Structure 1
Amino acid sequence: MLDEFAIPRDLVDRRVTRMRVLSPSNLAADFSRALPPGAHIPMLRREVLDSFLRRRAADAGATLVPGLVTSLSLPADPTADPYLVHYISSDSGSPSSSSSRSVLEVDAVVGADGANSRVAREVGAGDYTTAIAFQERIRLPDEAMSYYDDLAEMYVGGDVSPDFYAWVFPKCDHVAVGTGTVAAKPDIKKLQSGIRARAGGKIAGGRVIKVEAHPIPEHPRPRRVVGRVALVGDAAGYVTRCSGEGIYFAAKSGRLCGQAMADEWKLTGAVTEAGIRAGYLRRWDDEFRLTFRFLDMLQRVFYGGNAGREALVEMCADEHVQRRTFESYLHKRMAAVEPWGDLRLLWRTAATMVRCGVLGREVERLRRLEQQAADQVLLRH
């Protein structure tokens, strides 16, 4: 992402070269043995990255308007009339500054306003399921912080999340300790206590400097382009399951969408729904649909219970799994097929799942579903 979006290296807080995944029984898999030479996972703070991107947009000619969007008036003629963006403006963007209600007249709208997107609601883009991500930023004693200098840890288990993972990620002068869930949102603080207990002495003596909670979409919205309004990033639902990554896909979708609108404007002097769909939506789906579906399948298989999580961590110790994962993660697309290596991986996966009791459970579940379907057919006749 740094190279693709020209992000300065001095914005990076930490360069992670060691990754560790810990199972419910605390079996640890070193997930960084297959990391390519010189490669690393950059860790940035969102507030630092967002500030840089705003400044760069202004330097490129964008007009920044601090404020809060309250509603969107749709045009009487969806092909020609402007949209009216109603917002509360302020000079500094802070709640304490003086503010006033204003209206902005625009030809097209890009909704990049997060999982609780006001733009999505105004155009009827439809709902989606969301998870909650909760984390504490914890400043550690120097010795403890040095342990996480270039190390990221991921924990799986019902004690930290029933359907996702928990993490300890290094940041500038602190670590981010958190967890996420869809199925157990009311228990998020209990799950947070679980990751603090699992990390144990490694974060002992730390001081909480900030607490954060955010909704995370679980799948794309039913409608991502409505008229001359397009949704990108979390507003569109572009967060991968299994890994929970969203920042790259937010930046990528924003660039594809903006470029599609700019290209059509240069050619025709207008922006249309058909043009946005062709230049943005189809390109996005062609490039990333398979990745999102594959990671959704992995989450369903491996995050459903502790047996599956034990199998997942056991597989993470396999160098072929690690190499294929990094090929996909670093390049943000499914790695090319390697017939023999992938066939061996398939057999190893099946063996691991049998050993951990996952495959038998899934086969039994499918057998029950088939029997229920057959019983319903008999009832109808």
Structure 2
Amino acid sequence: MAAITHPLHSLTLTSKSPTPRFKTKPFPKLQISASNKPISGRKLRVAVIGGGPAGSSAAETLASGGIETYLFERSPTGAKPCGGAIPLCMLDEFSIPPELIDRKVTHMKIISPSNLTVDFGKTLKPNEHISMVRREVLDSYLRSRAESNGAVLLKGLVTHLDIPNHPNQPYIIHYTVNNTIKYLPVDAVIGADGANSRVAKSIDAGDYTCAIAFQERIKLPDDKMQYYHNLAEMYVGNDVSPDFYAWVFPKCDHVAVGTGTVTSKPKIKSLQKAIRSRVLPKIAGGTVIKVEAHPIPEHPRPVRVRGRVALVGDAAGYVTKCSGEGIYFAAKSGRMCGEGIVKASEGGEKMIEESDLKREYLKQWDSEYVNMFRCLDLLQHVFYGSNAARESLVELCGDEYVQRMTFESYLYKKLANGDRWEDLKMGWNTIGSLMRCKIVGKGMEGFDPSVVARFGL
């Protein structure tokens, strides 16, 4: 679809002068009712900045719920570097059509620093798998669906956001399309513009630690691609990442080989070289078709709601430790935020305020997921701190009970129903493994082994 030029307001950039000059018109008036009062003659107007899973899910929910919705995406043909794994529950929950799925992973291998290899997935049922997608395919589909439900897609770069000085003033979105600067006044904003969110900066949402993910897409000869037909591999070790893991994930006609780190970002290329070296026999003869890198948040931002602005997805910091999973949580947070706005505004008929976003979005999100994020943060601290700890992690992953609990939690995004006796045995096995690896100590403070697998390793 061609870019849409919205009639509300525009500035035209003249290029003859070294110092850019602009032709301007007065801002159109947007009458904003007092908080929670009915809006006269129109619907609540919301801008969603960022057209990934978080933004598209928010925009679809808003538009379907009667909100006047504008979805901004700067690069619709681009693709975020991403492993591309999504849990089974997301297919039904977000109505993901099967043709978007490149591969159905039913086997995983976890390889330790000493090359101890554990088959992870022995407890999967016949109908269970991990779906692998390409982000450019998934994101494009979700944006199109948001459009079909009434959201207006604006293919432009949002440069900054003007914050109102008075409750009855609008937020002003500044964006560029084909060297033309435009403005859009709105009642509320959802920032879904990634780890380097400009929306977050506009509302002074605070900083957070970011990892960097580096990935190469490699097209393999047919015989080697067959090996990865339904297999994903995870490698741990100081050589490939001092604080995370490296991966080989199958895509439609190629594999994604990558790694990530927080503490050694300047060394990311050497870490990528190391993972290529470890998997060299399996990818020999392959051709690199794309190289990608992207920041990944390590924890939620200090502020996720301010005024009538809410952050979702990577902009809010919703990426789990240990696994680095973010697609499901991005889409889920976008939908939950959209639902909260629809509910608080009574289908776009009333103005909303900060307390509405905190009550209907943040409170709901935190009650459902905050413990999961804290648990995975602790697990990463315990198991990714040294090669000895990683050996222990891989050893534990060989336990079928750990595997079953992990996959039940990951695939369905809910606390798995465990067996108390098995939980107790798992706890003793965890402590025993850590003792053998000589890492029981300060890293174990606050650690409850019975929850190791319940939220997914």
- Residue number in structure 2 paired with 1:25: 114
Q: 1:239 aligns with which of 319, 342, 345?
A: 319
Q: Which of 351-360 and 199-208 deviates more? A: 351-360
Q: CA deviation at 1:35?
A: 1.3
- Residue number in structure 1 paired with 2:174: 86
CA distance in 2, matches of 1:126, 1:219: 12
Aligned residues: 356
Q: 1:322 aligns with which of 384, 388, 403?
A: 403
Q: 2:437 aligns with which of 339, 356, 362?
A: 356
C-alpha contact 1:288 1:333 (8 A) present in aligned 2: no
- Residue number in structure 1 paired with 2:208: 128
CA distance in 1, matches of 2:382, 2:414: 21
Change in Cα spacing, 1:279 to 1:360, as seen in structure 2 (3 Å) is closer
Q: CA deviation at 1:23?
A: 0.1
C-alpha contact 1:287 1:333 (8 A) present in aligned 2: no
- Residue number in structure 2 paired with 1:294: 375
Q: CA deviation at 1:325?
A: 0.3
CA distance in 2, matches of 1:47, 1:360: 44
Q: 1:216 aligns with which of 271, 280, 296?
A: 296
CA distance in 2, matches of 1:362, 1:47: 39
SS across alignment from 1:64: strand
Q: Which amino acid aligns with 1:125?
A: A
CA distance in 2, matches of 1:302, 1:333: 22
SS across alignment from 1:358: coil
C-alpha contact 1:291 1:333 (8 A) present in aligned 2: no
CA distance in 2, matches of 1:172, 1:39: 19
- Residue number in structure 1 paired with 2:189: 109
Q: Which structure carries more helix by proportion? A: 1
SS across alignment from 2:345: helix
Q: CA deviation at 1:335?
A: 2.0
Q: CA deviation at 1:336?
A: 3.4
1:160-210 per-residue CA deviation (whole Å, 9 max, x = no partner) reads 000000000000100000000000001000000110011121011100000
Q: CA deviation at 1:358?
A: 1.6
Q: Which amino acid aligns with 1:288?
A: Y
Q: CA deviation at 1:80?
A: 2.6
1:280-317 per-residue CA deviation (whole Å, 9 max, x = no partner) reads 00000000001000100110000000000000000000
Q: Does 1:341 align with 2:422?
A: yes
Q: 2:258 aligns with which of 174, 178, 190?
A: 178
| Structure showing greater relative contact order (alpha-carbon pairs closer than 8 Å, 6 or more residues apart) | 2
Q: 2:161 aligns with which of 72, 93, 108?
A: 72
C-alpha contact 1:311 1:352 (8 A) present in aligned 2: yes
Q: 1:271 aligns with which of 347, 352, 359?
A: 352
Q: CA deviation at 1:37?
A: 2.5
- Residue number in structure 2 paired with 1:49: 138
Q: Which runs of 5+ in 1 are unaligned?
A: 90-97, 367-381
Q: Which of 233-242 and 264-273 deviates more? A: 264-273
CA distance in 1, matches of 2:190, 2:153: 15
Write the mapping of 1:245-256 to structure 2, written as runs, cut at 5 A. Answer: 245-256=325-336
Write the mapping of 1:147-226 to structure 2, written as runs, cut at 5 A. Answer: 147-226=227-306
Q: CA deviation at 1:360?
A: 5.2
Q: Which runs of 5+ in 2 are unaligned?
A: 1-89, 447-457
Q: CA RMSD in A?
A: 1.3
- Residue number in structure 2 paired with 1:93: none
CA distance in 2, matches of 1:138, 1:165: 19
C-alpha contact 2:175 2:183 (8 A) present in aligned 1: yes
CA distance in 2, matches of 1:4, 1:232: 18
Q: Which of 336-345 and 187-196 deviates more? A: 336-345
1:343-364 per-residue CA deviation (whole Å, 9 max, x = no partner) reads 110000001111112215747x
C-alpha contact 1:130 1:216 (8 A) present in aligned 2: yes
Q: Which amino acid aligns with 1:38?
A: N
CA distance in 1, matches of 2:107, 2:396: 17
CA distance in 2, matches of 1:290, 1:334: 10
